[in-house]
Amino acid sequence: MRASVRPIWQVRTGRYWEVDALRGIAFVLMAIYHVVWDLQGLGDFDIEIYTGFWHYEQQVTANMFIGLAGVSLALRYQRMLAKGKVSYGPYFRRGLVVFSWGVIIGVVTFLFDPAYYVRFGILHLIGASILISYPFLRFRWLNLILGVFLLFLGRVVLWLGLNINWLDWVGLDATPRPAFDYFPLIPWFGVILIGIFLGNLLYGPEGRRFSPPDLSHWPGVPTLRLLGQNALLLYLIHQPIIIAALTLLGLIRPL
């Protein structure tokens, strides 16, 4: 008998609802920002997206997404501990998949606009972070210290004005070339490490180390959980959908 496969439009159980819901909120914030970005970049709307409110909205969204990626790495590690079988294989496979999608996005954006193509965007970052994070998964406070250090190191790179162009993906270029999406390892792997710290602090092999109120079935929360559980798929398809919708509405120029 074939095993049943749960449709993607059904909320998967056996997961921490609060993590999925927070990731769903991050996706909604990202989609809103990309609508504004498309209106400004493709529709010539006079919207300031690199300073002020929209800049901070984008920063909050990015930190949520990347931090929650770190939390998820810790949760997988805790599940492995609970089963008594910890291995690098699942991290390697997942990291390779996510990084490969980043490469595909890089190729697509290069064909669209070589001057601004995505050389090392958020999917490159998350994929690479999954691949290299395995040695850090058993630590708690050390990850917090290293994470804060990498955030500080990012400021030092800017202060020193380093310009090692071929290491811009590492974060050793204070003035990297323009790109649609750019998230170098320094400082953003620091956010991953802080997420791992939070995951190990708040969760263990036995489950939550805290007792949140159960809001999992409150209005809107199941939808946010569903969005969070399918964040990678939604990330890959949301921009074409937004651009098509805005084009049909006559708000932006056809590509």
- State yes or no: pLDDT of 109 exceeds 70: yes
Query: How confident is the model at residue 14, as a pLDDT?
Result: 85
Nearest to 40 by CA among 52, 23, 28, 24: 52
- State yes or no: pLDDT of 164 exceeds 60: yes
User: 52 exposed, middle or buried (CB, 10 Å; 0-12, 13-18, 19+)?
Assistant: exposed
Query: How confident is the model at residue 1, as a pLDDT?
Result: 40
- State yes or no: pLDDT of 85 exceeds 70: yes
pLDDT band with cut points at 50, 70 and 90 for residue 44: confident
Phi, psi dihedrals of residue 58, rounded to the nearest 5°: -65, -40
Mention every residue, 6+ apart, whose C-beta is less than 8 A from residue 53: none
Query: How confident is the model at residue 255, as a pLDDT?
Result: 57
- State yes or no: pLDDT of 235 exceeds 80: yes
- Using alpha carbons only, what angle is made at residue 59 by residues 133 and 124, rounded to the nearest 5 degrees? 40
The torsion defined by the Cα of 33, 34, 40 and 42, in degrees rounded to 10, comes to 180
29 close to 246: Cβ distance less than 8 angstroms = no
Task: Report the pLDDT averaged over residues 77-85.
Answer: 93
Q: What is the pLDDT of residues 219-231, one digit of tens each?
A: 999 999 999 999 9
Task: Report the pLDDT averaged over residues 158-173.
Answer: 92
Query: How confident is the model at residue 3, as a pLDDT?
Result: 44
Summary mean pLDDT of the chain = 93
Choose the weakest-confidence range: 2-11, 72-81, 104-113, 193-202. Answer: 2-11
Nearest to 216 by CA among 9, 26, 20: 20
Concatenate the DSSP letters of all residues of 95-128 into one string.
HHHHHHHHHHHHHHHHHH-GGG--SB-HHHHHHH
- State yes or no: pLDDT of 6 exceeds 70: no
Query: How confident is the model at residue 2, as a pLDDT?
Result: 47
